[in-house]
Structure 1
Amino acid sequence: MSAWDNGADNAAQDVTLLADSPLYGISIAPMYRGYGKSHGTVKGLDGDTIDTNNAIKAITTYFNSHKPYPDIQEDHIYLSGTSMGGGVALNIATLRKDITSVVAISPFVGWDIVGAYDEKHRENPIWSGYLKNAISAYGDFDPNSSRYKAQSIDYRKITAPVLLVQGTDDYHIPWETVQTFYKKMKQHQQKVTFKLIIGGNHSLSNKTSVLDQVISEWYNQWDSL
């Protein structure tokens, strides 16, 4: 899952996302439009989460109700996402207990954490700009308000193992916000791992080999999670 950050509306790109899909597995690859330079309407964390969770429910219902296809096994849902997609993956894990694992790359970790960071760093035009957009959409920043809570992640409800991967040179997601989310989960004694990649950009597209190694090593230690 990822936020679509490309000005071109090229549906053919969706096909490439399925090229490495596992045999006997089903991949859902939603694209969240309206972010960056993409066309479309921003639905926010809450709206994107609802849409994606409904897609999972629809796929599960379809395969489990059609005899020619094998049922989708319970507790075999693996979530991964980048940017807003990472936030959606984490948020879905708060709603469902059948999630096997979550890999969140450069994730948006909710406005309660991100907004607080942006407020403290108003001198940075990027972070102050994001906060201005949030205030325009949800009103004055108040992490306890219902509108901001709807755009935040209740980490305490996550039961699946979580891998958070973040780069230090990300100019869309402050790495400190992901670290804060990690610390909250850790203090709550949840199964969470945080890997900070020095020099990594947003989505870690300049550190793909390092990212692949981090994810591979994390899954290899699965039994100890």
Structure 2
Amino acid sequence: MIRRPGHLADRTVPVGSPEPVDGLDLGLAARNVAAAGGSADRFRAEFGAGQAAAGSSALDPKHLAGIAGWRAGVLGLREDALSRIAAAMPAAADAIAATLGMDATDVEPFLEHQRTDRFWWPGRAEQRGYVCAVGGFAGLGGAWTQPPTDGRPLGPAGAFAVRTGERWWRIDADVWGSRLTPLRAVDEPEEGLGGPASLVTFPDSYLAWIHVADAA
């Protein structure tokens, strides 16, 4: 497993170089991805990979950009991207697979799993159900000066709370991205209904891990 914040699905480096598209400012799109918490570099690479694999498939470049933005870690693009993927299948399977960094034969299972499990990707079982690590030691570029503890699910899907010292934090995440927000409330956040994923902490670690017990 990784020892710094990040997603295990990102352990492979994407390869792709985007070509200019009329009516689509890729530079602005990349900056927007970064502003929304994603990786501009991964967006450019994933868009370029999907673009190269698109061939004659009628996948709108703007739709491809939305899918690449989600793959680059923008949580807010999840629902739109899944809708675009479903609408473009199976004709654009190769382009979608290249954008998501998976085999074309994995796209349909991925889409099916994502309807009920926002943390699923084809390689999760190999990682024993671990999805991503958030937080990290502030002295090494992370967010926290004390190890996290008391992890718990919140009401919304993919949302958790965790405490470091006297401060509570909210974690929002899915298979590709995560967002860490300090909570202003003084009171301890109320635990919500848990889903398939849980938040795992360790006494000697500054990372909080999202883990799914049913890794398959």
Scaled by the length of structure 2, the TM-score of the pair is 0.31
Q: Higher relative CO (CA 8 A, sep ≥ 6), structure 1 or 2?
A: 2
Specify which structure has the higher proportion of helix: 1
Specify which structure has the higher proportion of strand: 2
